[in-house]
Amino acid sequence: MTMVPLPAGNPPPLPDLRGRFAPSPTGNLHFGSLVAALGSWLRARSQNSRWIVRIEDIDMARAVSGADHAILETLAAFGLESDEPVLWQSQRLDRYQSAFDALKASGAIYPCHCKRSDLAAFNGIHPSSCVKRNAEGRPAWRVRTSSDSIEFIDRVYGRVAQRLDREVGDFVVRRADGAFTYQLAVVVDDADQGITEIVRGADLLDSTPRQIHLQRLLDLPTPCYLHLPLALDSSGRKLSKQDRARPVDASDPVPALQAVLVFLGQKVVSTAQVNDLLWHAVRQFDAGSIPDHRHAHAAMQKD
Ligand code: GLU
pLDDT score of 116: 86
Pairwise CA distance, residues 282 & 46, whole Å: 5
By the 10 Å C-beta count (0-12 exposed, 13-18 middle, 19+ buried), 231 is classed as buried
The finding on whether 186 has its CB within 6 A of some atom of ligand 1 is yes
Alpha carbons within 13 A on the beta-carbon side of 26: 18
Q: Over the stretch 2-27, which tens digit does the pLDDT of each residue have?
A: 455 445 555 555 568 999 999 999 99
The finding on whether 292 has its CB within 6 A of some atom of ligand 1 is no
Q: Over the stretch 178-218, which tens digit does the pLDDT of each residue have?
A: 999 999 999 999 999 999 999 999 999 999 999 999 999 99
Distance 135 CA to ligand 1 centre (A): 33
Strands (DSSP E) along 4-73, which ranges? 18-21, 50-55
Distance 22 CA to ligand 1 centre (A): 5
The answer, yes or no, to whether residue 300 has pLDDT greater than 70, is no
Q: Return the ligand 1 atom nearest residue 23 CA.
A: 4
